[in-house]
Structure 1
């Protein structure tokens, strides 16, 4: 049902039947902005005035040696007035600002920072201004960001500034992942009739998605719509990504169509994002339709497109289809990357087809693609799933030649190989080596190892592994736990089984579906009768 609905959106909906999210021709709402306040500042007098005039003279004549002699007399009030006096020369202003920062950093204040930010943005030196603001945010107190807008607002008219100074503040908060401050800045900007550039809005949306704050990102996008902020291609791509991350593929598809209605051409990134969204939901048929539709819009699939599709088919266990996509990729003279090969090799290895994995590995080397640890881990896993542990051990030795070191996945694959062969002693040795090397298994590897140890009646080893799991707060599988407790009961170690249950309960690690009453009530002789 979902696939048919999405297909209709993709293939059947006419552009005229969709209402665009934003009308770029409509005028922005009448916000009735608050007038920008005009605040006078006290003029320098007496020694302050002398300092400002002398400093100005030294700066104009680039006489830094004489200026250095005045550094001990610098105050925030004097710095602010010197900056105001030389503000028409943004280069000299920044040089003086940095000189104060080096010579007498305590003489800087929020006001001196505000003035230099006005000077730099008015002269379109945005990178320098952002650098100043970033340094301030990093070194300042937690209260500083909240105060910065007001300080900049009150010095706005004195510096005859540009609205871009507030855009700078909003964008810098976004880049610094200070989302609450960015939201507050955006709200305050609206109050005074200022709006951020679309580039800054995109930076904010992108930063939110980086931290998986999809809800806030989409909420901000709706606020952009209300403010009639015209999006660009990057905005649409970010929104498509946001909808895909939240699993709302129908909404993501709609945004693609709205792009076209508004005169934007979807890019390869637009399509790749949607294809990835379909693959994540297992909608491979729809993902392939999207790829086919790319050419109609003059967009050609790239390596990322094919890698995404190959990964999607491999995750679904459809290796024949993944291989077809791989062959199509090569037919289009798109060179497979390490990601392409690793995805396919891992896909075949997961289902125990090590021969096919090895063929891909040879093809990879022939095409000059250098193997990495992921390649070797996938190959080792494939061999271990088939119990070919000697060949796997040979590959481990090959790691040294490529200056690679085994990692947690390498050890887990090797342990699984010994478990397949029911060689619990070797599996346990590898486990201990893994721990000594600073790595730890995942829950599946723990379960496989405990099960193999139990089958070989090495219950002491199994208990040790379970205790390690408890120490690392890993919840055991209920089936594995039952197998261990049943074995302990058979060996007249019911008390140990009860102690283990108590430890798991105390650490809130008892797996769902595990009935401890059967273990506690069972007796060894009862087990003997039933066995």
Structure 2
């Protein structure tokens, strides 16, 4: 049947000679190749999948790509109509073999033959472009498609929706879905599942869950892929109880968990350090007859490594080989990370040599571990080796080493490495997009430039521009934040501020909450409070919503200056910005604060926290410490008391500040109670504060006698009182005991 399908067609301009071969006066290339290419060009739209794959293999292995255009030229000269499908055969063949640039070049040449691409052709190119995650180019092609009066079809919209969602741009995906409905194309489960995925990518799993439930009432109800997308969304967010409730719900709806479902759950339980439950789900999966794949093995290997069971993780690599699976670099990296976590750096380096290909992630893990150990010179050497091996460092690798250099006080070397990263960038984006006065993000300018190129038929040029930019290693916002923090810590705040201003004017990457928090903290460090608040106000004006971390930075800095009331006001401002909070209730509590009813305020705030399922200890810790720093220890104790009512334990730092504040006010009985609280909660405080408390007790009139009992409890807890750090305090205790014996002897005499 297949042989018959490939029979040589007869058409105008060719004749058979006695050798049964096609001849023409205008063709000098391989005749069989020309004949085959002509046949493909004319018959492509009628090919089913199997012959289509065979066509791709023949074109590739015979290297007949180069003569395909000759075949089309010949058809055109002989007056045979060359359609969009004729070129699509070549484009799809290039795509099938992974030659995206050649596919786009072929698409661009269609105008030379007077051929207008149809929707099928646009979809072919869109698929290639979106597979390379070049959304800007895809949107530019979509715009060109509309301007050419080519109607997008079902597949066009679904591909673009998926492209938006993979970038986490749910708004764009939703707009595309709305446009799809507007032109009368009915969405399918694939369309809405992409939106579910986009919501989860944007950490908005609640919206995804709502949409999932809405899908049940439509003509395109959710399928198992939809279920796994939402389940994975809950798991990624660490909302495991809701994930388990969702599992129960979909089981009631008739769905059965598959390997992807189990992978999401097992990975989430490992991340939450709920190791027993992770292993229980793994066992349950086997009982269901589901065999793990490479991805699930990688999850198990990483989980075991995090659990500290690195030996078992390494054995899993062998187990994979025994059942015919080849461990990928991700599996090896999980074990290497585990070995680093348990301090076996040399073993990790040996395992690196077992990986067949040089992997950037492997090197980054080792560089990170070396930097943690202060082995910055060794980390730099490994970094330099990467480039010699042809393994290009990623921005994460650069960030890891820059951060290591900063922490090792090698700020100049860190700056030089940053310059290498920055200067190493191609300047095509800057040169191509620098014209114009509008301050727009690079992404928007890039899209505009790509649209202009596509409309001018310069699609290949647009592709090269965008792939050049996508493929290069360039600083991200983390890079800038690392350097900004290092400058602030080095008290080079002017340089840091100038760097921050440069970043704002540049517009890319956009400053995030860490950027703003870092510069605010730096300005407070040098007593430039007014400027710090101007930066905060600028952040709000630019539409960048401050997160709790920025408010925490401001609150901490204000508390250090004993401005606790202003810190409280800022916290109320943050709470009012949260959609889950009742502003009227918060305003009422704010009035109580100024009425000096602190206990009611703290209790009310905690009740609101638990009602919204959004309790965070940090703001209460900052306020408690702030009251201690302001010399208002009684207020700090009120916060502790209310937290204790809710079974919330404070941290060791809060205990230290309370003990120091109480000792300063000579409230030694309360100071001892706080110290005993720290023992009860399992905190090992630093020797400095322990010595301070013991010394205050020994110098006091009423509490000298409790020191021996307190020291006994400290020894039972694990304090090493025989170390040099406690020598002075113990000497003072011995002096006190000798004095006490002397007094007893005098009394007897």
TM-score range, shorter chain: 0.5 to 0.7
> 1:452, CA displacement in angstroms?
5.8
Paired residues in the alignment total: 399
Aligned with 1:433 (options 306, 328, 351)? 351
2:85 is the counterpart of 1:167: yes
> 1:274, CA displacement in angstroms?
1.4
Task: Name the CA distance, whole Å, in 2 between partners of 1:418 and 1:303.
Answer: 37
> 1:371, CA displacement in angstroms?
1.8
Deviations 1:39-67 (A, max 9, x none): xx9x99xxxxxxx5xx56x6xxxxxxxx3
Aligned to 1:492: none
Aligned to 1:282, the other structure's residue is in SS state: coil
> 1:227, CA displacement in angstroms?
3.8
Aligned to 1:240, the other structure's residue is in SS state: helix
Aligned to 2:614: none
Deviations 1:399-428 (A, max 9, x none): 45544455544444344444444xx3x332
Task: Name the CA distance, whole Å, in 2 between partners of 1:400 and 1:134.
Answer: 31
Aligned with 1:183 (options 108, 129, 135)? 108
Aligned to 2:555: none
> 1:447, CA displacement in angstroms?
4.7
> 1:361, CA displacement in angstroms?
0.3
Aligned to 2:191: 270
Task: Name the CA distance, whole Å, in 1 between partners of 2:25 and 2:368.
Answer: 71
Aligned with 1:106 (options 30, 47, 56)? 30
Aligned to 1:481: 405
Task: Name the CA distance, whole Å, in 2 between partners of 1:246 and 1:415.
Answer: 30
Task: Name the CA distance, whole Å, in 2 between partners of 1:287 and 1:432.
Answer: 44
Cα distance 1:412–1:241, how it changes in 2: closer, same or farther (>3 A)? closer
Which protein, 1 or 2, shows the higher relative CO under an 8 Å CA cutoff with sep ≥ 6?
1
Deviations 1:237-281 (A, max 9, x none): 123223334554333213323333444321111111111122222
Aligned to 1:206: 127
> 1:370, CA displacement in angstroms?
0.6
Aligned to 1:468: 382
Aligned to 1:343: 264
Deviations 1:344-365 (A, max 9, x none): 2122222322112111101111
Aligned to 1:446: 366
Cα distance 1:225–1:443, how it changes in 2: closer, same or farther (>3 A)? same
User: What TM-score results when the alignment is normalised by the length of structure 2?
Assistant: 0.45
Aligned to 2:198, the other structure's residue is in SS state: helix
Cα distance 1:224–1:298, how it changes in 2: closer, same or farther (>3 A)? same
Aligned to 2:257, the other structure's residue is in SS state: coil
> RMSD of the alignment, in Å?
4.4
Deviations 1:69-127 (A, max 9, x none): xx7xx75329x8xxxxxxxxxxxxxxxxxxxxxxx9734686x6776467647x95688
Instruction: Return the index of the structure with the highest Cα Rg.
Output: 2
- After alignment, is 349-358 or 243-252 more displaced? 243-252
> 1:434, CA displacement in angstroms?
2.5
2:297 is the counterpart of 1:376: yes
| Contact kept? 1:313, 1:321, Cα under 8 Å | yes
Aligned to 2:216, the other structure's residue is in SS state: helix
> 1:167, CA displacement in angstroms?
2.6
Aligned to 1:76: 24
Aligned to 2:75: 152
Q: How does 1:113-132 map to 2 (within 5 A)?
A: 116=39, 120=43
Aligned to 2:575: none
| Contact kept? 1:419, 1:448, Cα under 8 Å | no
| Contact kept? 1:411, 1:430, Cα under 8 Å | no
| Contact kept? 1:171, 1:182, Cα under 8 Å | no
User: What TM-score results when the alignment is normalised by the length of structure 1?
Assistant: 0.62
Task: Name the CA distance, whole Å, in 2 between partners of 1:347 and 1:315.
Answer: 7
- After alignment, is 265-274 or 224-233 more displaced? 224-233
- After alignment, is 440-449 or 287-296 more displaced? 440-449
Task: Name the CA distance, whole Å, in 2 between partners of 1:247 and 1:328.
Answer: 26
Task: Name the CA distance, whole Å, in 2 between partners of 1:418 and 1:107.
Answer: 61
Cα distance 1:358–1:227, how it changes in 2: closer, same or farther (>3 A)? same
Task: Name the CA distance, whole Å, in 1 between partners of 2:235 and 2:140.
Answer: 35
> 1:305, CA displacement in angstroms?
1.0
